[in-house]
Structure 1
Amino acid sequence: MLKQSTRWLAAVGAAGALVAAAATPAVGAAAAIEPYFQDATLAVGSTGTTRNLFLYADEPTSLTDVSVRYDYRSLAGKITVAPDDGQKCTTPESGVLVCAEPQDVSLYELPPLGSGLYRGVTKRVRITTTDDAKVGDSGDVAVSFQAAGGRQGSYTSRVRVGEGVDLAGGPFTEHASKPGGKFTVPLAVANVGDKVVKGFAAVFDLDYSIRTRDRFSNCLYSGDHLLSCQFDEEIPVGEGLATTLDFELAKDTYAPSNQSGYAQFMTTADFEDLTRVREAAGARAATSGGGPKLTLAEAPSRMRQADQTDVGPGYDYTGWTIKTTGKNGVDLAAIGATLKGRAGDVVTATVGFRNNGPATLDAVNEDFEAPTHTAVELPPGTSAVEVPATCELQQGTRTYVCPSEMLLVAGKTYTMEFRLRIDKVIANARGAVQVNAPCECPSGGIFTGDTKPANDKAPIVVNAGPGGGAGGGGGEDDGGALPITGSPVGLLAGLGGLLLVAGAGGYLLARRRSARFVA
């Protein structure tokens, strides 16, 4: 099944970051913790589903003595909630489960670097139906947590009982195109269950480079990126539906390379469970197309008689590999700084690199590894007062190594700030910034395809003066910890992108999209 089994994971880790703060539950004051527990639709007689409680904050936080309370009394006798990760739980009354987290729950920053949004996850619970559950039953699960120091919060999610169906995606296909070229891919889905599927959705995971000019009225878009489509067609048992999608590669696609795209099919109810939180969470608005409706086949349009859920996930997706032909490379150029000050002054060095293009470097994948690393060697006579949280000092040196974002857009500048104290004024004290620097990571951290390695290094120069500092050529995109500015880069180029469609807890591609990239 290739690597797709690693891409379609419940409960994104940032995943991500299904990550922009605008696309997640709103966080309050610095100390506030906001919980989220995704809705669920359960099939009668199925093995149920697992859910995690997600905790969000706007500062790094570690919670101790955490307990989570699941109150499902509105569905007592219809569903059960049970521990699924070996945690110790009690049932103080019917329809209530209280679980103690075996370890502290730490909230880590979600991508992109410097997002200012932090997320932690508690142990899973499994939600199943009982023998008394009937199609159409519905109720709430009120989930609350308590932690040391008076930390607490609650979230109420919806649980429905529906019919079980089974969707399967069409075969994976391969295609070819040059940067800026157009190509067409099949979109096929089949009903491999024993009940008619009455309406469904397709949620897309497309590489940054894959764009579309179509604007179907039943689909959602972020710029030129296709996010999802909803269909009201029925799929009879044992039959399938198919259509085609027209895509094109962005002109800044790296070549030669392989680009990829995927679509996961889900029932209408499962899609609602995924997305109902969007408006309440303040998700950045995705836009519906103004063109004709995308249809897979002609079928009678009927109202849903019951909510449905996919009871056979795992092969409910399809995908495409696009071989990008020709040559389109990347030049990463280091940005240094010129600083002036007196002994005892603290100055700011804004350093980093610029992607001179012509191609965008997209390393968003399941390997969790940045495409390049930047080494920052401090000038003699200075010491670091404040450095980006992602940078690490190399043992026995004065050099910090910092990972980049996962997506490095052509024409964009990626900078970070080092606050340096001038301990001793030394004329023309020189440090250095080196992009494509080696690191202690599996790939070595060096982007070997740089078309102009001669500009991979730039100086950091400190001299006596009235104080202050300047970067060595940063533009409007300078500042922060290697940020990317501009419009969203698609559904899953970060959790924020995912949350254009998905709920704040996430659903898709935890491994693929959970490293350092921006929405």
Structure 2
Amino acid sequence: MQFTPARRWLAALGVAGATLLASPAAAAPATPKLDVTVADVTLADQAAGSQYATIYASSATVLPSRKLTFDTAGLAGVATATFPSYAHCATQGTVTTCEDSQPTSVEQWGLSLFEITFKADAAAKAGASGALKVTLAVPGFDTVTSTSKVTVGEAVDLVAGERQTVSAAPGGRFTVPMTVRNAGRVTANGAVLQLMGDHALVPTERYSNCWYRDGGYFPACVFTTPLEPGRTYALSEPLGYQVLADTAAPSQAAVEADWLTPAEYADQVAAFKKRGFEPGSPGTGKELTLVAQPVAKLAAPPQADSDKSNNWTTIEVTVTGDNKPDAAAVGANLTGATGATVTAKVGAKNVGKGGIDASRAGSPAVAIRFTVPEGTTAVTVPRECFPASGDTVDWQHPGKVGAAEYHCDSPSARLGAGETVLFDLGLRIDRVVANAAGKVLVSRIGNGPANDGNPGNDSAPVTVNASGAANSGGNLPVTGATIGLYAAGGAALLALGGAGVVVARRRRARFVA
């Protein structure tokens, strides 16, 4: 499947719309509630379309095994559904069953399992629709069922403009024009422009026909103007952006623009609303329009794009200047008697001038490796930490106690200048070892180490009963109140599928500024 920016846009909305991280005192229900979805899809005549089968849980849990059942009887005469070989499915009549006996971890933002490909029947007319029934059965959990709507649309082909490159310094502004061409044979009855940019790039306008959320990020602009075959349309004015003042520099950022038909956008909004989120609210400024002669609106069937590979384009932004982030390891000095449990608050602090931003890639802002000090055992471990050894990470057992080493991912894709992420690990002192030493190592910053301002502070010791230690605490001063951050995971992307592309392991941790 081609992973288009539309899926990344929904991922970003999912991040923004997700529930605020629970406080440490919040108690999860004994048995989480499960849900299973396959998002609605509109097909372009004989072109194929796809969506992911996705499982959600009301709180993080482990499924001992699972059985998914897909009933395609409701698609008769409309479309066929094909399942990938790696899903281990068996079909009998109109029912396909996909089973997995292995335990699977599921977070609140969901887990996409595999992609289902739909293709319209040769005799199906534009406007025809059917339903796919999906049932999930897991031992120890209530069985759940959902329905996905599959619609046959009239084929159109929206083509985005060419890739563009611009430069701007932190705090600076830039504008970019946008165009779209109808390369199909029929009139496109309107269009929707979805925009997704790095956190560093903030839209400067709030147009009345664009829907925004979370400070104006990730707008979707709806145009009702018909697009005639063979014609190119331009936005009534270039789009404006401002680069945040704390953006790392020099660095690269980008805005991705994706053109959809109104029916395709409606499918995405429906998937978003199924998860309890709204697509935002309209701006209060002027209307953004497509420059074209007005055409009388005619009754028409729903449409879908026959070639999504040319719908989108990218504006690459070179951020100039010297504004590097610097992720410094935060260690700890701990004291305690034999048998006592002490808490190591370890992590990383951005002591640089620039923020760390991995939001476009959907990656954690930072990752650390924590080596447990000699003579101690990790008895409480947060779910964002995984047992590790060398280059191997045990992703299947988040929060597992007793390991000698842990890999911990920050729960957010962004760590601003001056902000700290801490992971609380409880260490039981099995025997007192003078100056027992562990270590915290910043193992990853964003998508790589290129912008780390000072690699020399990437590690810090974690000592237990160190000579002269008076009390516990980190090596770097950590001040300020705890702030709530959003759980990242792309809930709406998972509603549409594509979790395997962008699901970063972002979980609960403490952030201080």
Distance in 1 (alpha carbons) for counterparts of 2:364 and 2:143: 35
Change (3 A) 1:19 1:64: same
Asked whether 1:340 is paired with 2:340, we answer: no
- CA RMSD in angstroms comes to 3.8
Change (3 A) 1:417 1:6: farther
Distance in 2 (alpha carbons) for counterparts of 1:140 and 1:304: 24
Q: Is the 8 A contact 2:51 2:497 kept in 1?
A: no
Asked whether 1:169 is paired with 2:176, we answer: no
The Cα offsets for residues 293-337 of structure 1, whole Å up to 9 and x where unpaired, read as 111214426255221111111111011111111111112232223
Change (3 A) 1:434 1:14: farther
Distance in 2 (alpha carbons) for counterparts of 1:188 and 1:333: 44
Q: Secondary structure at the match of 2:143?
A: strand
Q: How does 1:60-459 map to 2 (within 5 A)?
A: 60-62=61-63, 64=65, 66-73=67-74, 75-85=75-85, 87-92=88-93, 97-101=94-98, 103-104=100-101, 107-108=104-105, 116-117=107-108, 119-148=110-139, 152-221=143-212, 222-243=214-235, 244-283=238-277, 286-300=280-294, 302=297, 305-364=300-359, 372-389=366-383, 390-394=385-389, 399-404=405-410, 406-426=413-433, 429-437=435-443, 447=449, 449-453=451-455, 455-459=457-461
Change (3 A) 1:31 1:56: same
Distance in 2 (alpha carbons) for counterparts of 1:506 and 1:300: 37
* AA at the equivalent of 1:66: K
Q: Compare 134-143 and 354-363 and name the one that shifted more.
A: 134-143
Q: Is the 8 A contact 2:357 2:446 kept in 1?
A: no
Change (3 A) 1:65 1:349: closer
Unaligned runs of 5+ in 2: 21-27, 392-402, 509-513
The CA deviation at 1:136 is 2.7
Q: Secondary structure at the match of 1:279?
A: helix
Q: Is the 8 A contact 2:41 2:50 kept in 1?
A: no
Q: Compare 303-312 and 247-256 and name the one that shifted more.
A: 303-312
Q: Secondary structure at the match of 1:309?
A: strand
Distance in 2 (alpha carbons) for counterparts of 1:449 and 1:421: 37
Q: Is the 8 A contact 1:8 1:510 kept in 2?
A: no
Q: Is the 8 A contact 2:358 2:446 kept in 1?
A: no
The Cα offsets for residues 341-365 of structure 1, whole Å up to 9 and x where unpaired, read as 3211112111112112311122346
Q: Is the 8 A contact 1:219 1:226 kept in 2?
A: no
TM norm structure 1: 0.80
Q: Compare 343-352 and 263-272 and name the one that shifted more.
A: 343-352
Q: Secondary structure at the match of 2:432?
A: coil
Distance in 1 (alpha carbons) for counterparts of 2:9 and 2:196: 16
Partner of residue 504, structure 2: 515
Q: Secondary structure at the match of 1:269?
A: helix
Q: Is the 8 A contact 1:254 1:330 kept in 2?
A: yes
Unaligned runs of 5+ in 1: 110-115, 479-483
The Cα offsets for residues 425-466 of structure 1, whole Å up to 9 and x where unpaired, read as 345x353544434x8xxx99973543345544444343499x
Q: Higher relative contact order at CA 8 Å, sep ≥6: structure 1 or structure 2?
A: 1
The CA deviation at 1:207 is 1.0
Change (3 A) 1:105 1:352: same
The Cα offsets for residues 93-148 of structure 1, whole Å up to 9 and x where unpaired, read as xxxx2222264476445xxxxxx426334444333333442233334332223345
Q: Secondary structure at the match of 2:272?
A: helix
Distance in 1 (alpha carbons) for counterparts of 2:285 and 2:36: 38
Q: Compare 147-156 and 270-279 and name the one that shifted more.
A: 147-156
Partner of residue 4, structure 2: 8
Partner of residue 462, structure 2: 460
TM norm structure 2: 0.81
Distance in 1 (alpha carbons) for counterparts of 2:279 and 2:47: 35
Distance in 1 (alpha carbons) for counterparts of 2:244 and 2:371: 36
Distance in 2 (alpha carbons) for counterparts of 1:510 and 1:123: 8
Q: Is the 8 A contact 2:77 2:121 kept in 1?
A: yes
Change (3 A) 1:133 1:176: same
The Cα offsets for residues 213-253 of structure 1, whole Å up to 9 and x where unpaired, read as 20001112220423311111111000111122111111111
The CA deviation at 1:67 is 3.6
The CA deviation at 1:59 is 2.6
* AA at the equivalent of 1:421: R
Q: Is the 8 A contact 1:430 1:459 kept in 2?
A: no
* AA at the equivalent of 1:61: V
Q: Is the 8 A contact 2:343 2:425 kept in 1?
A: yes
Q: Secondary structure at the match of 2:178?
A: strand
The CA deviation at 1:60 is 3.4
Q: Is the 8 A contact 1:105 1:120 kept in 2?
A: no
Distance in 1 (alpha carbons) for counterparts of 2:446 and 2:420: 23
Q: Secondary structure at the match of 2:246?
A: coil
Q: Secondary structure at the match of 2:159?
A: strand
* AA at the equivalent of 2:254: S
Q: Is the 8 A contact 2:328 2:457 kept in 1?
A: yes
Distance in 1 (alpha carbons) for counterparts of 2:326 and 2:173: 25
Q: Is the 8 A contact 1:436 1:446 kept in 2?
A: no
Change (3 A) 1:419 1:126: same
Distance in 2 (alpha carbons) for counterparts of 1:394 and 1:83: 36
The Cα offsets for residues 386-444 of structure 1, whole Å up to 9 and x where unpaired, read as 334534343699554434454322222111011100122345x353544434x8xxx99
The CA deviation at 1:76 is 3.1
- In percent, how many aligned pairs have the same letter? 28
Distance in 2 (alpha carbons) for counterparts of 1:326 and 1:295: 35
Change (3 A) 1:296 1:435: farther
* AA at the equivalent of 1:79: A
Q: Secondary structure at the match of 2:352?
A: strand
The CA deviation at 1:254 is 1.1
